Amino acid sequence: MSDMLNRSAVALAAGIAHKELSAEELMRASLERIAEVNGTVNAVVSLRDAEDCINDARAADNETPKGPLHGLPVAIKDLANVEGLLTSMGSPIFANNIAQKDDLMVARMKAAGAIVIGKTNTPEFGLGSHTFNPVHGATRNPYDPTRSAGGSSGGAAAALAAGMIPIADGSDMMGSLRNPGAWNNVYGLRPTYGLVPLDMPGDVYLHQLAVAGPMGRSPADVAMLLDVQAGLDPRDPHSFAQAPSVPQLEGDIKGMRLGWLGDWGGAYAMEAGVMATCETALAQFESMGVSVDKLEAPFPAEQIWDAWVGLRAFANAGGKGALYDNPDLRAMLKDDAIWEIETGRALSAMDVHRLSVIRSQWFAKLNGLFAQYDALLLPSAQVWPFPVEWKSPRDIAGRAMDTYHRWMEVVIPASLVGVPCLNIPAGFSETGLPMGMQVMGPRHSDGKLLRIGQRWHEANDFAAHKPDLDALKG
């Protein structure tokens, strides 16, 4: 059964569709793996009753395949609603919050045949790229359980890496599909803003930062899930339809031009070994017939950061303000959430306008770069996975981090302006900890980025370097 769990989601779905394996077999194997290693990793939470999951899989075997995910077991990130399951968002405020209906993305995955078996762990409200919370505890890295799995899609990435599920959803406001992807040796795509529609309550115009998207152990798996999640929905005014990604996986990438932004001219502090690992990976691109140019910092990093901090805080103040206004609930918020709300509320309307002008200027500059390059490259993280007991790194290479999320600054050039960005595995530290690189493209280039990623996946053996499952068994 362990061999089955090493197969790609695409291969598993095809096997089920062609009756070469059963959804029940896959479900039993997945539940067995969860029972073996989840006690250590703590990636899957709110797990459904095993017999109910098996019965659903058995029913799937007796049905005509509903769609590309038919019979695949999935666990949904605990920021999204699954009817009948707990949506805690990692907050004690919502520790008993049973969802009354599926979110749009979840409904689309179910309609495509996926079987939801539970949720994946996330930081409180998804704040911070380290998955720990007072409801479900901390998620540990399968490559070293003393280390963080990243976040906020840390549970999803760790579950993928440990073979508990074949494919995973996630979300990404700052870097939550890319940082955990990097730290767990899997792929995570932050899609073009609007490609995966959101049906969350509240304002749908001002706060264009957070996206939902796919994760997988190969770009082909990511593309398969993206095509299920994506597409126009009238409830989201930013949603749109574009050509499916799966057909775009085919084709060569020889002759493409990539730009390497590295540490942004020294603006982004990097832990020892991160840059060297990524730069070694760049040589592999060149051996594939892709040219890579080292670029100067194209825009002041501090301006991008200032715009990001303010606009993110503005969004959090809008979305969580009612919790803050209730003294009893405010006492249950973590300090980072309170800081976000108070920072956002301190902004005037003209402050927000000024920050959005910076965002607009960076978008214009970035479009100029994309006129010259097929994609731009950056590390996916500035540090290796850190001890799971930490809240966040206090400094990097001797440079103090002045906020709880400054250590993630390298991910915001894409996040601020809504362009797609794919994490690809880039290698490992001397102690075996994974690292990744961001491949960032212009709006609507999601399929092209996945094609680059798929050729990368085929040319490298990073996927063969799997966690030591025996070390994870309780």
- β-partners of residue 86 are 98
Which has the closest alpha carbon to 460: 448, 452, 449? 452
For residue 218, indicate whether it is catalytic. no
Query: Is the bond leading into 88 cis (omega within 30 degrees of zero)?
Result: no
**Residues, the chain:** 474
Q: How confident is the model at residue 1 (pLDDT cuts 50, 70, 90)?
A: low
What is the distance between the terminal CA atoms of the chain, rounded to a whole angstrom?
19
For residue 176, indicate whether it is catalytic. yes
* pLDDT for 202: 85
* pLDDT for 199: 87
* pLDDT for 70: 98
Is the dihedral angle over the CA atoms 349, 211, 426, 397 positive or is it negative? positive
Q: Which of 46, 77, 129, 445 is catalytic?
A: 77
Q: Are strands 44-45 and 115-120 parallel, antiparallel or unpaired?
A: antiparallel
Separation CA 60–CA 12 (nearest Å): 14
Residues whose CB falls within 8 Å of the CB of residue 362, separated by 6 or more in sequence, listed in order: 299, 303, 304, 307, 413, 416, 417
* pLDDT for 474: 74
Helix axes 301-325, 335-345, angle to 10 degrees: 100
Q: For the chain, what percent of residues have pLDDT higher than 90?
A: 98
pLDDT tens per residue, range 447-457: 999 999 999 99
pLDDT tens per residue, range 27-52: 999 999 999 999 999 999 999 999 99
Q: For the chain, what percent of residues have pLDDT higher than 70?
A: 100
> Does the pLDDT of residue 384 top 60, yes or no?
yes
pLDDT tens per residue, range 217-241: 999 999 999 999 999 999 999 999 9
**How much is the average pLDDT of 122-138?**
98
Task: Show the CA angle centred on residue 163, arms to residues 162 and 164, nearest 5°.
Answer: 95
> Does the pLDDT of residue 405 top 60, yes or no?
yes
Which has the closest alpha carbon to 379: 131, 175, 219? 175
Q: Which of 8, 88, 171, 176 is catalytic?
A: 176
Q: How many CB atoms lie within 10 A of CB 296?
A: 8
Tell me which residue range forms the domain holding 369: 2-472
* pLDDT for 135: 98
Residues whose CB falls within 8 Å of the CB of residue 19, separated by 6 or more in sequence, listed in order: none
Separation CA 465–CA 156 (nearest Å): 18
For residue 19, indicate whether it is catalytic. no
Q: Which of 152, 245, 380, 445 is catalytic?
A: 152
CATH number at residue 346: 3.90.1300.10
pLDDT tens per residue, range 177-217: 999 999 999 999 999 999 999 987 889 999 999 999 999 99
Query: How many domains are there within the chain?
Result: 1
* pLDDT for 201: 81
* pLDDT for 2: 67
| Phi–psi pair at 472, nearest 5 degrees | -95, -15
**How much is the average pLDDT of 402-417?**
98
> Does the pLDDT of residue 315 top 80, yes or no?
yes
